[in-house]
Structure 1
Amino acid sequence: MKPGLPERVRGLKATLWTLIVPPTVWAAHFLFAYLWVSVQCAKTGGFSRFPLVFWGGTALALVVILASGIIALVQSCTPGTAPPHEHGTDSDRLRFIAYSTMLLSGLSFVAVVFTALPVLFIGDCR
C-alpha cells in the first residue's frame, strides 16, 4: 500500500536548503517584477491592460511559496516534545527548521503580494 501525501511529506528531509526556498522565490519574483516593469515602461510607457506574463509569474511564485509552507507545516507537526525545540535531537532539529520555514513562507507570501500590488493599482510609468 502506498503511503499518503502527509506521510511522504513527513519523510522529506528538512535542511537549510529548504529554509531558503521561500525568500529566494520572493527575491526572484522581485527581480522579475522590476525587470518586467522596466521593459514595459521602455516599450509602451505603461502597463498592458492585463499583464498576463506578470500575473502568471506572480501566481507561480505564490504557489511555490505556499507549497513550501504547507510542507513545512506538515513537518512541524511531527510528534515529539513540546516547544521550545532546543535539544539536539533529530526530531527537534526537524521541527525547528520546519517552523522557521513556515514563518519565512508566510513572510515571503506577503512580500510577493506587496511586490505585485503596484502593478494592480498603478497603470503608468510616471
Structure 2
Amino acid sequence: MNDESNTSDRPREDEDRHAFAAEAHSLWRITFAPTVWALHFVLCYGLVSLSCAKELIPIATVQAVLTALSLLALAIIAWLGFRSLRQWRVLVTGQLEHPEGTPESRHRFLGHAAFLLSVISAIGVIFVSMPLILIGGCQ
C-alpha cells in the first residue's frame, strides 16, 4: 500500500514528456532572435573586412548590401518579438507576473524571455549597423 501512495504522488513519465514536448518550440524560439543578431554581426564584419582589408568588394556595394541585410534582420527580429509577445499574453491578461508556477505560466515566461531577447537582439543589430551609416568608407 505504501508503494502505491508514492507512485500516485509523482507525475507519470508520459505527462512529463508531453509537457516538455509542448514547450519545445518555445525553447527554440528563445534562440532565434540572438541567432539572427549573431549572423548579422558575422556578415557585417566579414563583408567589411573583405572590402577594406582584401579590397575584393567595393565599399559602396558592401554598405548597400549590409543596409538591406540589417533591415531584413530587424524585420525578422520584430516578427519573432511579436510572436513572443503574443505567447507572453501580457497585453491580453495584463499580468506581468505568474507566481503560481503552472504549466501555462511557464509557457508565458518563455514568451517573456523570448520577447526580451528579441529587444536586446534588435538593439544589437542597430549598434552593429551604425558604423555602416556613420563611417563613409574604409579608414
What residue number does 1:43 align with? 55
Q: Which runs of 4+ in 1 moved over 3 A?
A: 78-83
- Where in structure 1 are there 5+ consecutive unaligned residues? 1-11
Which residue matches 2:106? 93
Q: 1:107 aligns to what? A: 120
Identity rate of aligned residues, in percent?
32
What is the number of residues matched between the two proteins? Answer: 115
> When you count helix as a share of all residues, which structure comes out higher?
2
* One-letter amino acid of the counterpart of residue 33, structure 2: P
TM-score by length of 2: 0.71
| AA aligned opposite 2:41 | F
Aligned-pair distance for 1:47?
2.2
Aligned to 1:58: 70
CA drift at 1:90: 2.0
Larger radius of gyration: 2
AA matched with 1:109: A
* Cα distance in 1, alignment partners of residues 134 and 106 from structure 2: 43
RMSD: 2.6
2 CA distance for matches of 1:89 and 1:53? 46
The structure showing larger relative contact order (alpha-carbon pairs under 8 Å, at least 6 residues apart) is 1
